[in-house]
């Protein structure tokens, strides 16, 4: 299904109407519908790519769960200083900054 095809011109408004007006009250049903509509959209071109889409979706979902788990666990253990403090400490330690030599990005230069 191409974006400029008649099939897509029928699919998109139908998916939009179903998403907002049929499943509009329940977010879990909306999410399930989006997954199903995405599978139909990708399978319309070639069904062999559904396994790839499913694998990528499961990996992304699992990564998101792991990131959330470790973010919540680490947020109470470690209080990181703001980036400004890190920058000031690096300047006091004489860590050289990377600059473009001889190039000015100011608007005053002609």
pLDDT at 86: 54
pLDDT at 102: 56
Map residue 81 onto helix, strand or coil: coil
pTM summary value:
0.53
Beta carbons of 49 and 42 less than 8 angstroms apart: yes
Q: What is the CA radius of gyration of the chain?
A: 25
pLDDT at 15: 92
How does pLDDT run along the chain (110 residues), one tens digit per residue?
788 889 989 989 999 998 888 887 888 888 889 888 988 888 888 888 888 888 988 898 889 888 888 776 665 555 555 555 555 555 555 545 555 455 555 455 44
Q: How far apart are CA 92 and CA 72, in angstroms?
A: 32
**Between the CA of residue 27 and those of 24, 46, 51, 80, 85, what are the distances in Å?**
7, 29, 25, 35, 41
């Amino acid at each position: 299904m191409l974006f400029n095809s008649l099939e897509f011109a029928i699919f998109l408004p139908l998916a939009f109407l179903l998403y907002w007006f049929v499943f509009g009250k329940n977010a879990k049903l909306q999410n399930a519908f989006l997954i199903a509509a995405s599978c139909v959209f990708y399978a319309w071109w070639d069904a062999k790519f559904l396994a790839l889409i499913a694998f990528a979706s499961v990996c992304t979902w699992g990564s998101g769960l792991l990131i959330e788990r470790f973010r919540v666990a680490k947020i109470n253990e470690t209080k990181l200083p703001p980036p400004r403090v890190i920058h000031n400490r690096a300047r006091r330690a004489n860590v050289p900054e990377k600059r473009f030599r001889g190039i000015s990005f100011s608007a005053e230069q002609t």
